[in-house]
Structure 1
């Protein structure tokens, strides 16, 4: 079984869900000018990330519920954090396909489109270590405000404290997602189902926001500790 540990939004992939590989990468946009005599000039116009694609099998008693949770995020167009090993991105689920075989066995294939990150690999080399840290903390501050954690600018001395708060919010939001989803699955009333589904989306957004916030804080802390930062 694969050793890749993968989290996408509110779902931590486990057992057969864990992909054996994750396809990613990108290309450089080029402007190529051909000249008489065989000459050529190539201008690099910027990097373009490829989509992130992986597959696996949702299995177990809650396989259908977990699959539907991600499909709901696709329908909503939610921006979700995705992370594995040392990789962290913000993405939107572009395509998700299920091969329904049984309620407890759903092979899937998921394709995610990366949301541009101004402090990501495309521009990080153009910024100093201090600028990268400042940008990461600015993004973390925005996410903190969106998730109701804090509206104050996060400074380097407050990284650990805010990370601890974000971890607490992450755990609470995860519990809310599970509770709201259980209520949705048990609901027999159409109106109540719509309300609980909205609550699932709201708690999922908080879960995703706090997870993304932790990602930016971790990167800021790493850059502060790096030589020359």
Structure 2
């Protein structure tokens, strides 16, 4: 797009008003003077469900506030215009949440869209920036993460960590080495520890139950039966994890490293021990949160 003389004159003229322009921050980038957006669109909508009745009547359910996206238009001017624009481009590419403040707003946002136009051989880069706002409660510093979501995050992490480790152990080499355990010491082979009906299987099933209930999205703090079921499953998972920790520790202590197979057996047990300890910590934290919810 061609840049007219009037556009450049307006850009240069704006420099004279830089002292009266309130700064705008986006992540670590501070926009001042001419860089401050000319236009910032703020708004949102109230989410409504309208039930139309015979005869023209209506029943309207208000579902809550839905903050609209923030839309900004401005320009970078001068020898650093393009490099400044590219800083925002890098923030967009990262996909991470960044801080934003302008016009009395102070939020954590995501950059949905950012485009800039290279003009006047790079001396002028006009831009359009679109930001996604968080939910209303998050804007006010209140946590909108429900108890069920929190428990689901922990149990998902525990389940994923164990599953990944067992998947590696089940590829063949560790399992084969684990079978040698019955010969080189009084230890339980890895193949037995991670097979069907093992302590791991019981832990996995229990965590899947917790995760399934937690991901239902219901407010568990108001559902005593759900809390009771989760508490029982967490108890099963914790007992199974402690069993795995005890057995893996015993295996690591009793296996004499004399060849490559015994080394792999120790490595496999150590890997499962580490995953079980991490998962036991997550389960413990989940139980603490659950006990806190029960006492409310």
The CA deviation at 1:113 is 0.7
CA displacement, residues 82-132 of structure 1 (integer Å, 9 cap, x when unaligned): 1024211111111111110122210111111113353436xx8xxxxxxx6
The CA deviation at 1:39 is 0.7
C-alpha distance in structure 1 between counterparts of 2:45 and 2:135, whole Å: 14
List, as ranges, runs of 4+ consecutive aligned residues in structure 1 with deviation greater than 2 Å: 1-5, 115-121
2:126 matches 1:107: yes
C-alpha distance in structure 2 between counterparts of 1:4 and 1:49, whole Å: 23
CA displacement, residues 166-222 of structure 1 (integer Å, 9 cap, x when unaligned): xxxxxxxxxxxxxxxxxxxxxxxxxxxxxxxxxxxxxxxxxxxxxxxxxxxxxxxxx
The CA deviation at 1:65 is 1.4
Residue 28 of structure 1, aligned match among 24, 32, 46: 46
Residue 58 of structure 2, aligned match among 40, 57, 61: 40
SS at match of 2:40: coil
SS at match of 1:65: helix
**Are 1:4 and 1:19, in contact at CA under 8 Å, matched by a contact in 2?**
no
C-alpha distance in structure 2 between counterparts of 1:77 and 1:115, whole Å: 14
Structure 1, unaligned stretches of length 5 or more? Answer: 125-131, 136-229
2:67 matches 1:49: yes
Equivalent residue runs for 1:35-114 within 5 Å? 35-101=53-119, 102-114=121-133
The CA deviation at 1:28 is 0.7
Structure with larger Rg: 2
CA displacement, residues 30-75 of structure 1 (integer Å, 9 cap, x when unaligned): 0100001111011001111111011111112221111111101111
Q: What is the CA RMSD across the aligned residues, in angstroms?
A: 1.9
Residue 118 of structure 1, aligned match among 137, 152, 177: 137
1:5 matched residue in structure 2:
23
The CA deviation at 1:6 is 1.1
Structure of greater relative contact order (alpha carbons < 8 Å, 6+ residues apart): 1
The CA deviation at 1:79 is 0.6
C-alpha distance in structure 2 between counterparts of 1:112 and 1:88, whole Å: 13
**Are 2:99 and 2:107, in contact at CA under 8 Å, matched by a contact in 1?**
yes
- Distance of aligned partners of 1:97 and 1:119 in 2 relative to their CA distance in 1, 3 Å threshold: closer
1:158 matched residue in structure 2:
none
SS at match of 2:112: strand
SS at match of 2:137: coil
C-alpha distance in structure 2 between counterparts of 1:9 and 1:95, whole Å: 15
Higher helix fraction (1 or 2): 2
Structure 2, unaligned stretches of length 5 or more? Answer: 1-16, 144-296
